[in-house]
């Protein structure tokens, strides 16, 4: 795992794209603060950039660096979630502008996967995390189902968990600054 993290960090620093196992499914990732790298993800997925992507952070401390106002209920939801849960936050700061939705929100998940947490912690910044498929196509349930176009379109493929069967996409909820919770995807 350490070797894969060490192989991955230079790619991220150079604005490259990764294919990596996440706590849900295989994902395409990049430095969430690098607008050029984010643009490459949209281009590879053939996805309109008006359709926002998810970010992963290593822990709550990293989350707090990019989301200035977090409702108190958020901490309970993160602690008590029984499956990966992505939360949509208002007014992110320090993130690539083309990653932030038109309504000035950003979807972020605290990674539960050990590799992802360690990678993000060592990199020191959030990672984009979007399913490893062309927009509109089914989400691959295993590494073997990832299309050649995606495999050839990334700069580095993490050599871990390639036999892992994909899980379900995360739940997505929105929490406003005043603590109102809205479920977007169960």
Q: What is the pLDDT of residues 124-155, one digit of tens each?
A: 999 999 999 999 898 888 899 999 999 999 99
pLDDT at 115: 93
Choice among 22-26, 61-65, 104-108, 124-128 with the minimum mean pLDDT: 22-26
Q: What token pair was written down for 102? A: 């038109």
Q: What token pair was written down for 45? A: 């997925």
Average pLDDT on 85-98 reads 94
Q: Are 66 and 108 in contact (CB under 8 A)?
A: yes
CA R_g for the chain:
15
Burial group, residue 183, by CB count within 10 angstroms (0-12, 13-18, 19+): exposed
Tell me the pLDDT band of 165, cut-offs 50, 70 and 90.
low
Domains observed in the chain: 2-185 (3.90.870.10)
Average pLDDT on 82-90 reads 91
Phi, psi of 116 (to 5 degrees): -60, -45
Choice among 80-89, 138-147, 172-181 with the minimum mean pLDDT: 172-181
């Amino acid at each position: 795992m350490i070797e894969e993290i060490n192989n991955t960090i230079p790619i991220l620093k150079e604005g490259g794209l990764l294919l990596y196992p996440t706590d849900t499914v295989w994902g395409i990732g990049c430095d969430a603060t690098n607008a050029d790298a984010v643009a490459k993800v949209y281009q590879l997925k053939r996805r309109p950039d008006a359709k926002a992507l998810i970010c992963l952070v290593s822990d709550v401390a990293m989350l707090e660096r990019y989301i200035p106002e977090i409702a108190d209920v958020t901490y309970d939801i993160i602690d008590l979630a029984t499956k990966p849960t992505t939360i949509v936050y208002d007014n992110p700061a320090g993130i690539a502008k083309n990653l932030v939705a038109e309504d000035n929100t950003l979807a972020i998940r605290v990674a539960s996967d050990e590799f992802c947490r360690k990678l993000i912690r060592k990199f020191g910044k959030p990672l984009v995390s979007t399913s490893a498929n062309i927009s509109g196509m089914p989400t691959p349930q295993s590494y073997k189902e990832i299309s050649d176009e995606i495999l050839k379109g990334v700069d580095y493929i993490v050599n871990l968990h390639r036999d892992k069967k994909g899980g379900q996409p995360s739940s997505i909820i929105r929490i406003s600054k005043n603590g109102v919770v809205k479920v977007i995807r169960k």
